[in-house]
Every structure is written in structure tokens, then in C-alpha cells.
Amino acid sequence: MKAVQLTAYNKNVLRALLSLKVIEKENPIIQTDEVLVKMHAASCNPSDVAFIQGGYNIIKKLPAVPGFEGSGVVVDAGSDSKDMVGKKVSCFIQDDIDGTWAEYFKLKKNSLIILDEAMDLDQAACFSVNPFTAYAMMEIAEIRASKVIIQNAAGGQVPSLIRQLAKIRQIETINVVRKVETAEKLKAEGEKYVLVEQDEKFSDQLKQLAYDLNATTAFDAVSGQNSGLIINAMPPDSELIIYGGLSNKPVSEINPLDIIFQNKIISGFNLLDWKVELNEDGYEKIVSELQQLFIKGSLKTIIQGEVKIDNIIQGLKTYIGNMSNGKILIKP
């Protein structure tokens, strides 16, 4: 099979991309509890970019095939999983094995999501991570009885899905973006509250909105200085949930007196931990609910294009330079 192989980690993202090689290798050999998936498409997430830089919490022995997520059809299975052959599936794996950026991919049966026949396989390639993250974020907002939420890096895919779910649940969003162009795009889509972090009045504008609308829950995929600016702008009894570190910088600029005297909280969110806390019935219910939302068109991941494995480096350069334009799918 054809596969992408990472030969070395490098903090410099361009050098990390140059460590990717397209190779021919033997198809994976499956064990009794494993299945072989013929990949339809693999997605690239910020976690994949962090992985090839060696800056993610998953470190694999190199050389290794990257890719945590994708979709396809089961074409072979071990003796314990023969009933899976022919099933459309969404894949997600972070074990120390080869990933999804290949023509074929093996994993254990319990690491798969079996798809409804009506589920689009392009959307399914982006199904196992971001939609569940967005769903979990909305659960947090509802537990906190929040009618308005703030989200940083609002041009990204998780914030897009959060907005879609928020509309269904009648929750307003205050969207913080880095570029004026992204702000204009969101406003053209009908978003009422959009702020540009580079605006000299950003902090004052955010504080005014947060207090006026009682926005006491915020989701942050960036970290760095903006984490502090956001929590400082929020009213008492607020919580900032950090679920990413796109800035590659530590959280800073926090007013400690607000934390002490205004009962403000900064917490972290990890999707795998959230999934572990769910019982099997609860997880399957969420899987079914999310699939139906995608099938009906109520939820959609924005896909800006696709790239063949042979053109992986150019495709990832496009994605890294334009993440707010949507996902890039990697196809065999």
C-alpha cells in the first residue's frame, strides 16, 4: 500500500513537513480482534500538525504513519470481528501504531464508529474528534446554564460546529477571531457578535459584551495571552475552558484578584477523558444523535479541499496557512 511516513519530529512546522515521505509498504497484518479499513479519506487536525512537530501528548516511535482520524470501509477482519466486514466506519486512534494517512489502516474493533449507510464518508472522515468536542462543550455550557458563550479562534472547525449546535439549542455565541477577513466572513454568515482580537478596543468591547449578555462560559483553543484577556473580561463566577494550544504559548495575563475574589475558574478539556467517563449506552446515544444531525444537514464540517497522498506536503501547507477555510482531506 501507499502511505505517508514521518521520519523525524521538528518544532519548525515547515521542516516537520519535509520529514514526511510517501512510501510503499506491506499492508497491515491484522490480529483476531482487529479490522482492516480501506481508507476513503483521512483528515488533518491541529493535533496532527502538533504531532509531526513532536509537540503533542502522543509520541510514536519513528518512522511512523501519522493520522489520528479518517473514514472508510472494513475489508478484512480477524476471527473475533468478521461481522464488521463491509461496514462503513469512522476511525480514531492515538495508540503507538501506524495512523490513517495511508491506503489501508488497522485497528481494534472497539476503536471504530459504525456509520449509518446514509452518512457521507467525507463528513465521516472528520467525525470522530471535532463533533464530539463541540457536543461536549455544549454540554458544559448547559450544565453551567449559560445562554451566551464566548469562543476564541472562532474561525476554526470546532467553533463552527459549536455555533451550529448553539443555534439548535438557542444559545448565543460571542466569536473572537484574529483576522478582520474572518470577522467579515462570520458576519456575512449572520453572526451577531464578532470581535477581532487585534482591534485596539478589543478588551473593552469584550468586557462590555460579556457583562451585558452575562457570558460566563468561554471556550479557548489558542491559550497564550488571549486566555488571560478573555477571563479578565468575563463577569464573576465565569469559567474559561481550554481545549487547545494553537499559540504554542503558556496561558498568561491573568488577573489573580479576579480568580480569588470573583470566583473565576480556568479548566482544561480532553476529549478522551470525556469519552472514558461515558457509559456505553450514553456514548452510543451521542453517536446516533450526531450522525442524524449530519445526515439531516443540521451539522456540517467545512471541507476546503482534498489532496492525494502523493501531494501531502503541498496539501498540508495549504491547510496550515488557511485553517479557518476548512478541513483538508487526504485521499488514497
Q: Residue 212: its pLDDT value, please? A: 98
Q: 105 and 13, same structural domain?
A: yes
| pTM for this prediction | 0.92
Show Cβ contacts of residue 52 under 8 Å, excluding neighbours closer than 6 positions.
6, 9, 10, 13, 16, 17, 19, 20, 66
Is it the case that residue 164 has pLDDT exceeding 90? yes
Confidence category of residue 325, pLDDT binned at 50, 70, 90: confident
Q: What is the CATH number of the domain that holds 23?
A: 3.90.180.10
Q: Rounded mean pLDDT of 59-74?
A: 96
Is 294 part of a structural domain of the chain? no
Segment 82-116, tens digit of pLDDT: 999 999 999 998 888 999 999 999 999 888 999 99
CA dihedral (118, 123, 129, 131) positive or negative: negative
Residue 240 domain boundaries = 132-272
* Residue 42: closest CA among 272, 299, 280, 331: 331
In a domain, 36, yes or no: yes
Same-domain status, 184 and 116: no
Residues 80 and 197 in one domain: no
> Does 100 lie in the same domain as 178?
no
- Could you tell me if 91 and 183 lie in one domain? no
Rounded CA-CA distance 131/168 in Å is 14
Tell me whether the omega of the peptide bond preceding residue 159 falls within 30 degrees of 0, making it cis.
no
The total domain count for the chain is 2
**Residues facing 41 on adjacent strands:** 71
Residues 40-55 pLDDT 10s: 999 998 889 999 999 8
Task: Give counts: helices (H), strands (E), the chain.
Answer: 12, 15
Rounded mean pLDDT of the chain? 95
- pLDDT tens for 295-304 read 999 999 999 9
**pLDDT above 90 for 26:** yes
Q: Tell whether 267 is covered by a domain.
A: yes
Tell whether 208 and 322 lie within a shared domain. Answer: no
Give the domain-ending residue among 257, 272, 287: 272
**The pLDDT of residue 109:** 85
84 and 148 housed in the same domain:
no
Confidence of residue 161 (pLDDT cuts 50, 70, 90): very high
Residues 6+ apart with CB under 8 A from 273: none
- The answer as to whether 290 is a domain residue is no
213 confidence band (pLDDT: 50, 70, 90): very high
Neighbouring C-beta atoms of residue 98, cutoff 10 Å: 23
- 64 and 14 both lie in a single domain: yes
The CATH number that applies at residue 162 is 3.40.50.720
Residue 231 is assigned to a structural domain of this protein = yes
pLDDT value of residue 94: 84
Say if strands 34-43 and 327-331 run parallel, antiparallel, or are unpaired. antiparallel
* Same domain for 213 and 321: no
DSSP H/E element including 226: helix 225-233
